[in-house]
Structure 1
């Protein structure tokens, strides 16, 4: 414990031994050595010796003692010493300001700064630099501008140390233009000035400007150090024109300077190659590094997770790296465990994830909110809500990331009601939701097609000041599109200030799902003209648009463009779209040949797309062959049996249809019940076929019979299979009941939006067209495949579905 520094005059003379005192120079050297080596114990012993011998230290010695306590984080001792110092100078104040800043006590640091001003002392550049550091770390720009004004008034504005501190403060507060103005108008610049500007550009992602400034710095004769190269290599991590060339040039330059084996530069090089897709080069750099710290291991592990096709093999490499670093005595950090948990989540390595959780507890990191979020995310991804909730409840300091992980986990697993409950609990706790949790909640509304709830979340986002974030607007586009309101989705897209590749892709996919094929393709071309490179999701939207629009040649052309012009590897979803494209056009043989040549011959998604086409074209021979393949791949998937049953049923072949039913019974395969729902007011109303549970069901059936009567008057007949004896079995399907309820409950001008979990049958599709005609209403029906917009007796799909 720190001895009390009671003034010597107040101590009893019988306890003092002045003859044993050292002099100021000796004590100062002892304190300085203790500060330099970090040996606080020796420093405290020297201080205790001063007290015991009633030594009266000079101001220089007291400042050194104060500096020692501040640098070792002993702020209570430092404050106690500072308060009892008989005299203080600007160095005393600087030490205490710096000490408070170092441990994050920014308010106290500024309190000491203001106290120094009140005393009338002439503040020096270090005082102002410490105050600017506080403003930068707290992003308190207004206070920073006031300090800037004080610097100008003091006549110290041209000092290079303060110029650098001001540039750093402005850049950390996001005012990089002000930092640039200071840089350009200063006559005294050093390498720190250049590094500060380069770091400022790198921080905001101005990658090309970062590299241009680096070139200018080199041309002006300033040497590049590890700090400079680290910022520049960070800029090369982003993909832009010639980014790969710049990265390799910088790599060559680091070799020339002999800095390539420096751990900071080596880590930056490794990170750059990993993030630009050159994992092989990243691994080579990792192997040749003579010293590897936890940051380098983290960069290498994170590099593997950059791979789009992250697999079990890559996960094993990641797990081996964790084992290697522990064998070598490198202690994992919170970031290490968080990315290892991401790897476990990606390959569903549940057992290894539990072992990682055990190690987290071993290192006593379970209370860290960063780790807590990773654990919540890991368990949620596996549907283990109880474990995820335990981690959530055991995290002592729940930050917004932890709440977001828990909410997102509920949403991903279809527990939407629990997600809403947790979101309301978050609001009640007084914490402010960020753009990520708002985006997740809009995603939940999209899944439910609950536009009214989505609008309320949108309103809250605007009120909270995150409504203009691109991630929020992207989710908003998706929410409106999945709720059947493509016009509002389009409006949100046009209002997005900085649309990214996700914005464009969501809008293209939305147009495709709503049957606006040509509009989707026009949007794709506009996206390319705006310089936004498409990704896998973009092309999935384009191919879906071509499939739903019957644009066979265009679809096949885009499929080849994706592979040849953009060098992308097509996945099973892209290939299934191509099969669907060919199948819908009646080219069943071409579609089947495509499957055999795609590399996804054993994926049931491919064969299901072909089986759907067989139903459209009533090809029972091909359907039987495809269905047998599909049932072998997925013996418990009801959809395959039901599709084949419907094909036989539509063709009037009763015996095979009956055998399919019997086969399902023998194998215990149960068909998923059809469910339709509609949002009216603030409530979602659900219906099943022949529903009797709704409180307004009698009124619904009465209105349905009335509409069916109008259909018969205009000569409408549906054409179900011959085993349908009672037409009401078809007429009372869940979508018909939901639409009828919507017609009863919603104003005449409002469209009726209904969602369905299974594909709409042909009879209900025909019924919807006539309902839209006889009731003069717009009906929007969403099934798992697409949206159908019914107006004036016609559907937007043009019966091509």
Structure 2
């Protein structure tokens, strides 16, 4: 469905574009000037040629204020440039307006430059800069401004203190918040209800709702904002009973429950109750009784409440009952369709239809509308539709909004267009933490782990504070890079900043340790968690399965059920994987039936693949060359450039002694230009990752590595090692098999680890392909003669070699 353009009856003074910038889009095609501002009459006497005339302060101020209000810097910058060019002496009022414009429009660096060049400042100047830094997320710089104002002796007002308290609330800095509370009292402003409300908000956001309540009870002057602030604090921590009592007390105190208070309770609180839908309906009845149900705020909150509690039928009914359907109601209905963990194509299509209907009715979509529509496009992967919406966003000059910018970054990264996602990030003037989260997560999702790490360090150097979502993504990047050292540093940073106890961080931490080969640290992290969720248990079960601890994985699953936590499809995937890797056929089939019968979980292709793998490993469908041939040929049809299926089919023919078809498979690979993925192994030593390929001699220590490898091979021959020589890859056919197998990449990497790491440290090596039979045998013997633990991760699972045996029990 193509989006329709609508005409607005209001004049648009912003540059008009037809497509989005940076992605093959045209330049500005037309510019409409702002309302005419009268210029001063030129002097009557003659002036030398080229004389420049300054405008007056009122005219300059009008231009600057227009830019501030419209969000377009062009006219304000022109006015500022003209002032500089004509050497106009600006008054404090005009300079403060300029400062406010740059802060509000997101050009905080320019604002700081202007602030530093101002001949003098007043409290308004400091308040503007403090607010600007806070809005952009530069909380430490905002507090620097606050401290500078105190040092120079400015008389701070209620707005300065409120701004500083807001920063403390945002950062959770309770200590500094208490200090500012003391300054408020000393300054004589402690009785101001405006600051009382800011203090209640600060204490609530810092997790000290009891202190906020005490301040509330001790204050003589309270308004509706005071009540709302404390109610919001109770809602934030889920203190539903206290919130209910406070609402009742507010009502008994004679304060009317206005639309904003009732709307706040409906929107923020109802979903926190166990019987949220019933309580929500009671509040709905209350609003009808008092004639508030048709108010936009209440109707929106009711619609949102029903949508969040899964009652879309009632939400749609409220939407239809509204005779005057405003943009706010449309936004609420669109958001309602996008609630929940999974969004069906049907609901996504409903949002697209609502969006088109809005435009047909002549409504102007808001920033929230566009960000919601982009979310819908991302969820159902309607990327082409998302690009059309991007064009409309640019036409309305809304791409600088932080939520829209973040959604655009998500759109292009999810569609695999990494370069376009980076352009959206670079073109966003308001790079808040949401935008940084989107691009870092996008890099991780697309496998650009190094770029994600580089961007993370850039974020830290900029002075911004990453949140739990960014740190979770970074731990994910370290997991995929198998870089425990970097992961430990990020974990340390999370603990230092006070967000290490977030469940999302701890879950990522478990995954990072497990994928890096340190299952013991993964267990330790899990055991320290106070409230592990279904993700925590699922990650732990899957990690044990990957490390060959099948029985331990199943014990965790039973323990999870004992705690009353319902497993999901990912949990069962981990359980089935454990059964497959442990050869537990009966248990695996029983769990497979249980997920359908006892938990009504829909079986997907990954679950079926696990069961097939389980049966295959147990010999139930083993060495069936006819079925294997048919399956391999089908995979080749589906993935003609994938080398694994060719190699598999070659080995099937070769194992049963059919040489001619095997040769033809090699020729087919050559004709199609299909190349087998080269085997690579890598190991992290110190701050560097060392990579090896088969027969690799590029490493600076290669002579020492090969000498030590030959020495260890001689030692294991003496204790009974006999080299196995299966043809495991087409690329090895023309080479001397023993030479190739002796110098497989994992043998070189393990030998380097033995040379470089302390004797007490385990040797952890990662490999991109499956480990061959000979290397598996060699690693067991290496662990025995060297008396150290060797941990090898191949493309499927982990192998822990200790004292001549492997955790997989030779079953892989």
TM-score band, normalised by shorter chain: 0.7 to 0.9
The count of corresponding residues between Structure 1 and Structure 2 is 675
Structure 1 position 783, deviation (Å): 1.9
Distance 1:374-1:162 versus aligned 2 partners, 3 A rule:
closer
Q: CA–CA distance in 2 between the matches of 1:476 and 1:782? A: 18
Q: CA–CA distance in 1 between the matches of 2:287 and 2:604? A: 39
| Paired position in structure 1 for 2:412 | 379
Is the contact made by 1:436 and 1:471 (CA closer than 8 Å) also made in structure 2? yes
Give me the TM-score of the superposition, normalised by structure 1: 0.72
Q: CA–CA distance in 2 between the matches of 1:557 and 1:302? A: 41
Distance 1:304-1:687 versus aligned 2 partners, 3 A rule:
farther
| Paired position in structure 1 for 2:683 | 678
| Paired position in structure 1 for 2:93 | none
| Paired position in structure 2 for 1:90 | none
Structure 1 position 435, deviation (Å): 3.3
Is the contact made by 2:204 and 2:212 (CA closer than 8 Å) also made in structure 1? yes
Alpha-carbon RMSD across the aligned residues, in angstroms, is 4.4
| Paired position in structure 2 for 1:478 | 511
Structure 1 position 754, deviation (Å): 1.0
| Paired position in structure 2 for 1:646 | 651
Q: Structure 2 matches for 1:67-466, cutoff 5 A?
A: 137-139=166-168, 141-142=177-178, 145-146=181-182, 167-168=200-201, 170-181=203-214, 195-207=228-240, 210=243, 225-235=258-268, 238=271, 241-310=274-343, 312-466=345-499
| Paired position in structure 1 for 2:781 | 770
- 1:579 alignment partner, one of 612, 618, 626: 612
Q: Structure 2 matches for 1:659-674, cutoff 5 A?
A: 659-674=664-679
| Paired position in structure 1 for 2:630 | 625
User: Are 1:657 and 2:662 counterparts?
Assistant: yes
Q: CA–CA distance in 2 between the matches of 1:729 and 1:735? A: 12
Structure 1 position 787, deviation (Å): 0.9
Counterpart secondary structure, 2:792: strand
Distance 1:328-1:684 versus aligned 2 partners, 3 A rule:
same
Q: CA–CA distance in 2 between the matches of 1:212 and 1:671? A: 69
Q: Which one has a bigger Cα radius of gyration?
A: 1
Counterpart secondary structure, 1:685: strand
Q: CA–CA distance in 2 between the matches of 1:561 and 1:181? A: 52
Counterpart secondary structure, 1:790: strand
Q: CA–CA distance in 1 between the matches of 2:195 and 2:496? A: 39
Q: CA–CA distance in 2 between the matches of 1:675 and 1:722? A: 18
Structure 1 position 684, deviation (Å): 0.9
Give me the TM-score of the superposition, normalised by structure 2: 0.72
Q: CA–CA distance in 2 between the matches of 1:776 and 1:147? A: 64
Q: Which runs of 5 or more structure 1 residues have no equivalent in the other structure?
A: 3-37, 39-69, 75-95, 120-126, 589-616
Structure 1 position 426, deviation (Å): 3.0
Is the contact made by 1:205 and 1:235 (CA closer than 8 Å) also made in structure 2? no
Q: CA–CA distance in 2 between the matches of 1:102 and 1:321? A: 40
Q: CA–CA distance in 2 between the matches of 1:721 and 1:306? A: 55
Q: Which structure would you say has the larger RCO, counting Cα contacts within 8 Å and 6 or more residues apart?
A: 2
Distance 1:760-1:256 versus aligned 2 partners, 3 A rule:
farther
| Paired position in structure 2 for 1:726 | 737
Counterpart secondary structure, 2:737: coil
Q: CA–CA distance in 2 between the matches of 1:440 and 1:165? A: 33
Q: Deviations over 1:205-248 (max 9, x none)?
A: 44565457657878999875533443333356647643344344
- 2:804 alignment partner, one of 789, 793, 796: 793
Counterpart secondary structure, 1:670: coil
Distance 1:436-1:307 versus aligned 2 partners, 3 A rule:
closer
Distance 1:779-1:390 versus aligned 2 partners, 3 A rule:
same
Counterpart secondary structure, 1:760: coil
Q: CA–CA distance in 1 between the matches of 2:284 and 2:643? A: 56
- 2:703 alignment partner, one of 666, 690, 698: 698
Structure 1 position 189, deviation (Å): 9.3
Q: CA–CA distance in 2 between the matches of 1:465 and 1:697? A: 45
- 1:710 alignment partner, one of 703, 706, 715: 715
Q: CA–CA distance in 2 between the matches of 1:172 and 1:554? A: 48
